[in-house]
Amino acid sequence: MTDQVARIVQVAEGEVGTKETKSGGHWVNNSKYNRWFGRIPGYDQDGYGWPWCAAFVAWCAHEAGVASLYPKSASCSTDVSWFKEKGRFSEYPAIGAQIFFGPGGGSHTGLVVGYDSTYVYTVEGNTNSTGSAEGDGVYRKTRVRRDDYVFGYGYPEFEGGIVTADPSKKGKAGFTYQESASAPAASKPAKAEYEPFPGATYFKKRPNSDLVTRMGKRLVAEGCSAYKSGPGPQWTDADRASYAKWQRKLGYRGADADGWPGKTSWDKLKVPKG
């Protein structure tokens, strides 16, 4: 399984605790997810005061880079139809699936982050601590799988497949059957290969550092050497002259090629980590 599931779960769980706008002592459905989605005519709050549980799921998919795998609408019923038309709807939970509640799945929705034989664990927007469909923010919820309120699940078509409790999917391509499952952890970013830019003032302090040596070696490799000896760890005028050659090689002119490193030119030089 790829990181797609982990990413959307990570995004959703990172939103837990986010609240919608409160006005006049009441929650008014106006959230950052509504603002991202856009106005819907006929609603309060200048068209932003509409129930946003479905928009929350779409926002999470967008932020996780998997927007095409989930419907983008403000309607739970529309989302159910979207998955059914693709033949990817089930009465069994799956990790990363969109869960739907109420008659026809049209009352409420959220994202599945885990399940066992009894419960399904979710992150849901526009709910509250009591679990009602109309709510005030984003919460982690524990739902009874066989509750009549649970209508079913839409299965995104993740790269590498989806982990599901649906026994009819056993042995089928794109599905891994598990009686209980939790979301995979997001992989750690790969260790950076190159030195990050140390800042505009770093070199003007004329540092004595191995970083200067490694920078100089890269400048020599790029054919931008103004060194008579070295390069070495002490920043000198030769380093600045060499860096100016690098800037001119990149197309900089005038004051933009003054020999003082900037982030854009530094990132393109790709100075290896020590």
pLDDT confidence of residue 13: 94
| Residue 139 pLDDT class (50, 70, 90 cuts) | very high
Would residue 199 be called left, alpha or beta, if left means φ above 0 and alpha means ψ between -120 and 50 degrees? left
Residue 105 lies in a domain: yes
Over residues 60-77, the pLDDT tens digits come to: 999 999 999 999 999 999
* Same domain for 231 and 145: no
CA distances to 102, 124, 135, 241, 271 from 129, in Å: 18, 11, 8, 64, 51
Would you give the DSSP letter of residue 94? Answer: B
What's the rounded mean pLDDT across residues 196-210? 93
CA distances to 193, 226, 228, 250 from 247, in Å: 22, 13, 20, 5
* Same domain for 168 and 219: no
Give the whole-number percent of the chain exceeding pLDDT 70. Answer: 95
End-to-end CA distance of the chain: give it in Å, rounded. 34
| Residue 191 pLDDT class (50, 70, 90 cuts) | low
CA distances to 236, 238, 246 from 205, in Å: 11, 15, 20
What's 125's domain CATH number?
A: 3.90.1720.10
Residue 139 lies in a domain: yes
Total of domains in the chain: 2
CA distances to 103, 124, 137, 261 from 134, in Å: 15, 11, 9, 54
Amino acid at 120: V
What range does the domain containing 113 cover? 4-182
* Same domain for 129 and 236: no
Environment class of 77 (CB within 10 Å of its CB; exposed 0-12, middle 13-18, buried 19+) = middle
pLDDT exceeds 90 at position 186: no
Amino acid at 46: D
Residue 198 lies in a domain: no
What's the rounded mean pLDDT across residues 209-233? 94
* Residue recorded with tokens 């003082």: 260
* Same domain for 45 and 174: yes
pLDDT confidence of residue 68: 96
* Same domain for 221 and 103: no
* Same domain for 207 and 169: no
β-pair partners for 154: 89, 98
Question: How many angstroms separate the CA atoms of 165 and 158, rounded?
Answer: 16
The whole-chain average pLDDT of the chain stands at: 92
Residue 196 lies in a domain: no
Of 129 and 209, the one with more pLDDT: 209
* Same domain for 24 and 105: yes
* Same domain for 225 and 127: no
* Same domain for 119 and 10: yes
Residue 167 lies in a domain: yes
H or E element, residue 6: helix 4-14
| Residue 1 pLDDT class (50, 70, 90 cuts) | very low
* Same domain for 150 and 22: yes
* Same domain for 213 and 174: no
Residue 229 lies in a domain: yes
Residue 190 lies in a domain: no
What's the rounded mean pLDDT across residues 100-107? 97
Tokens representing residue 76 in the block: 């739970």
Question: How many angstroms separate the CA atoms of 23 and 228, rounded?
Answer: 70
* Same domain for 227 and 165: no
